[in-house]
């Protein structure tokens, strides 16, 4: 999940920020970003939409499965 972390940092967000945006705790976000648990579909779409601000053609597959 280091790619996801990289995009989060490029967007200027902390894990706590991302947790608030997604409506989850910082701990839950951290667990998901490190791959211990999975993001749900709603969270994946929200993150993809955010990343598209800097990478307009990014797909969910590229963010979460490559």
Q: What is the pLDDT of residue 1?
A: 55
For residue 13, what pLDDT is reported? 98
Residue 66 is predicted with a pLDDT of: 80
In this structure, are residues 44 and 63 in contact, taking their beta carbons and an 8 Å threshold?
Answer: yes
Cα 39 from chain centre: 8
Residue 17 half-sphere exposure toward CB, CA atoms < 13 A: 9
Question: Which two three-digit tokens encode residue 41?
Answer: 């579909």
Q: What one-character DSSP code corresponds to residue 49? A: H
pLDDT given at position 40: 97
Domains of the chain: 2-64 (1.10.260)
* Reported pTM: 0.92
Task: Please identify every stretch of the chain with a pLDDT value under 70, giving residue numbers as ranges.
Answer: 1
Q: What is the pLDDT of residue 36?
A: 95
pLDDT value of residue 2: 86
Ramachandran category for residue 62: left, alpha or beta (phi over 0 → left; psi -120 to 50 → alpha): alpha
């Amino acid at each position: 999940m280091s790619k996801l972390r990289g995009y989060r940092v490029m967007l200027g967000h902390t894990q706590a920020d991302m947790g608030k945006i997604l409506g989850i705790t910082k701990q839950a976000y951290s667990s998901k970003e490190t791959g211990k648990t999975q993001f749900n579909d709603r969270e994946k779409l929200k993150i993809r939409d955010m990343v598209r601000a800097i990478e307009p053609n990014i797909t969910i597959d590229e963010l979460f499965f490559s």
